Amino acid sequence: QSALTQPASVSGSPGQSITISCTGTSSDVGGYNYVSWYQQHPGKAPKLMIYDVSNRPSGVSNRFSGSKSGNTASLTISGLQAEDEADYYCSSYTSSSTPNWVFGGGTKLTVL
Amino acid sequence: QVQLVESGGGVVQPGRSLRLSCAASGFTFSSYAMHWVRQAPGKGLEWVAVISYDGSNKYYADSVKGRFTISRDNSKNTLYLQMNSLRAEDTAVYYCAREEEPFTIFGVVPIWGQGTLVTVSS
């Protein structure tokens, strides 16, 4: 299974909006609406932020939103806050002979 | 509260075996599929394996297929990962994680343990 492609880093100032892309293929991101996004602070376990492309779990700020176009999914964070600085990973179900899941390489978000 | 606690990590020589455990509490363990996800030092997340709520279905990443076995004991609320023929590239923090919805496997995992470190080195 090949990892999904994410930019290594993005940055933004407090209050601004940023978007992180996640590019796959028609066998994963483009073929299914099972794209999730996770936030991970250093030394901590990942936290689910978005699932099924655009759904937010209870308790996740509505500043976080997800979308998908073709083989590329996107995570948008609006009104950037200092605590948003973290690593972000996308994941997707991927078709093969058996069910599998694949993660992106991760994006380091820096709040300037 | 909902909690997952991994154990069993440590330093092991290449080619040897290790078994990880994940103790679950605060929810009906026997109703949820469970995953193992790992993260090599300074690297990204890698999905390892998943087991259905009743243990009848198990799926693995190609990188561990044939070497790792996922299992569960619903009477003990515990998930396991038996790791054989370990390699240096298996060095990682191993997380257990729970599916979002009962009786499903969609790869949506809102509940994670704190992780246990496995180091494969001679």
Task: Lowest mean pLDDT of A24-38, A50-64, A92-106, B8-22, name the range.
Answer: A92-106
Q: Tokens 């996107």 — which residue?
A: A74
Residue A98 pLDDT:
72
Residue A99 pLDDT:
73
CA distance B71 to B82: 8
**3-class SS of residue B30:** helix
Residues 3-42 (B) with a CB less than 8 A from some CB of A: 35, 37
Question: Is B47's CB within 8 Å of A93's CB?
Answer: no
B115 touches chain A (CB under 8 A): yes
A25 with A71: CB under 8 angstroms? yes
pLDDT tens, A14-40? 999 999 999 999 989 999 999 999 999
Residue A3 pLDDT:
82
Asked if residue A46 has pLDDT above 70, the reply is: yes
A63 with A14: CB under 8 angstroms? no
What's the pLDDT band for B107 if we cut at 50, 70, 90? Answer: confident
Q: Which amino acid is at B102?
A: P
Residue A80 pLDDT:
97
Q: Which amino acid is at A48?
A: L
Q: Please give the mean pLDDT across all residues of chain B.
A: 96
Asked if residue A1 has pLDDT above 90, the reply is: no
pLDDT tens, A50-91? 999 999 999 999 999 999 999 999 999 999 999 999 999 999
Among residues of chain B, what percentage have pLDDT more than 70? Answer: 100
Nearest to B96 by CA among B43, B39, B54: B39
Interface test with B, best of A101, A103, A108 (most B CBs within 10 A): A101
Question: Is A45's CB within 8 Å of B114's CB?
Answer: yes
Among residues of chain A, what percentage have pLDDT more than 70? Answer: 96
pLDDT tens, B47-69? 999 999 999 999 999 999 999 99
Which residues of A lie inside 8 Å of B (Cβ-Cβ)?
Answer: 1, 3, 34, 36, 38, 40, 45-48, 51-52, 57, 89, 91-93, 98-106
Asked if residue A2 has pLDDT above 70, the reply is: no
Give B104 or B32, the one with higher predicted confidence: B32
The distance of B7 to chain A (nearest Cα, Å) reads 15
pLDDT tens, B31-43? 999 999 999 999 9
Helix intervals (H) in chain B: none
